[in-house]
Structure formats: structure tokens, C-alpha cells
Chain A
Amino acid sequence: DAGITQSPRYKITETGRQVTLMCHQTWSHSYMFWYRQDLGHGLRLIYYSAAADITDKGEVPDGYVVSRSKTENFPLTLESATRSQTSVYFCASSDTGTRGQFFGPGTRLTVL
């Protein structure tokens, strides 16, 4: 599914640094999402967006910032990375209807 991509795929950073994870989709889906995947927690929603310039918090938004100036891009920024933000981050998109969400390949982030 080349329709949704994430970069970088792997990132190692240090505590306190700012990190931006990129997400790009080519389907023109209205909705985009950011999740983190952790053992014992499954997937938890960080932020989501219903359209360009419309974003809202999910279950675990603290420490993260998002923007959506264009429909196809939905970057996630960790303003000051902490070790607890070490995780695998998945971006997803969907259109209206009941076809579910389509996921990117994930970014494995390690905060030292």
C-alpha cells in the first residue's frame, strides 16, 4: 500500500530534542490519525484530523503537536522528547464511510 508512507522509518534521539515524524497519503482521504503502539497497550490514538486545518486530541496527546496544512500531510512533532515516548508510531488515513483505516508502515522511535 504505497498510498500512505511514513518517514523516517527508524529514529534515535536524545531526551529534550524536538523530533518530527512525517506522514503522507496519496488517496486524498479526509481523515488522518496518529497512533502509538506499546506492549500491553495496543494502539492508542494520539491526535486525529478530519480535514486540512482541523485537528483534535486523542487518548494520549500530551507532549505531541500536530498540524495539517495540506490534506495529504499530517506531521507529528514531539516538542521535547522523553524516554516514555519511545514507541512505534503509526499514521493512518480513512475516507468517509465504513471501510476502516489504512495504516502506514510505522516509525520506530527510540529516545535515549
Chain B
Amino acid sequence: AQRVTQPEKLLSVFKGAPVELKCNYSYSGSPELFWYVQYSRQRLQLLLRHISRESIKGFTADLNKGETSFHLKKPFAQEEDSAMYYCALSQGAQKLVFGQGTRLTINP
């Protein structure tokens, strides 16, 4: 079964420290993975797609097929990064299966 696991429900780091939000997936085919972010009382926004290999707001994510992971990283956290982050896996027919989310808090 296709599944996305985000092992940390809560993550708290200090401003300026590195951030890593973990995401592991199970999928038998060639995965398409995404990171979404939801700031307080706002809609979900697409942050990253693995296929584009881009860096958005200083965040990057590398697909590691051997470890079936797609961890989200940022070298220096900023207070505005505080949000809920969801990792998602495409199931085909444009459907996504989401992880349970990680609430990231950046402390000043």
C-alpha cells in the first residue's frame, strides 16, 4: 500500500539553526513527491516538487530512492518558517496521499 510517514508531529528549532523535516514513503513504482506548507489559518500551498529539483524559500528536498525518503531541509531557519508541513506522494490520476504533517515552530 502506498503510504507517507512523517515521524515527527512537532518540531521546534531556534532561529538560525538548521531544519530537517523527515518524510518516508512506500511505493512500488517511480514516485512523485511533494512538500506542502500551511501557514496559520491559510490554505495549503505547494512548496516543492521533487521533479523540479528547485529551492523555494531556502528549502530543498532530495529524493533518496534507496532509503525511500524525501526529507525537507533548510540550513538556517527563520521565524516565518513556522507552519504545518505535509509531505505527499502522487498515486496516479493526480491523486495525492498525505503524511500526517509536522508542525514546525521556530523559536526566536
Contact = CB atoms under 8 A, between A and B. Distances in A.
A and B together in one complex: yes
Interface residues of A, number: 27
Interface residues on B, range: 20 to 34
A94 interface: yes
Contact of B90 (A44, A90, A98): A98
A103 B45 contact: yes
Q: Name which of B44, B94, B99 has the most chain A CB atoms within 10 A of its CB.
A: B94
Interface of B: 6, 9, 32, 34, 36, 42-46, 49, 51, 86, 88, 90, 93-101
Nearest to A97: B94
Given A31-B93, A33-B95, A98-B90, A106 B49 contact: no
28 contacts: A30-B94, A31-B93, A40-B100, A42-B6, A42-B86, A42-B98, A42-B99, A42-B101, A43-B44, A44-B98, A45-B95, A48-B93, A48-B95, A90-B43, A92-B44, A98-B32, A99-B46, A99-B49, A100-B46, A100-B49, A100-B88, A101-B46, A102-B46, A103-B44, A103-B45, A104-B43, A105-B43, A106-B43
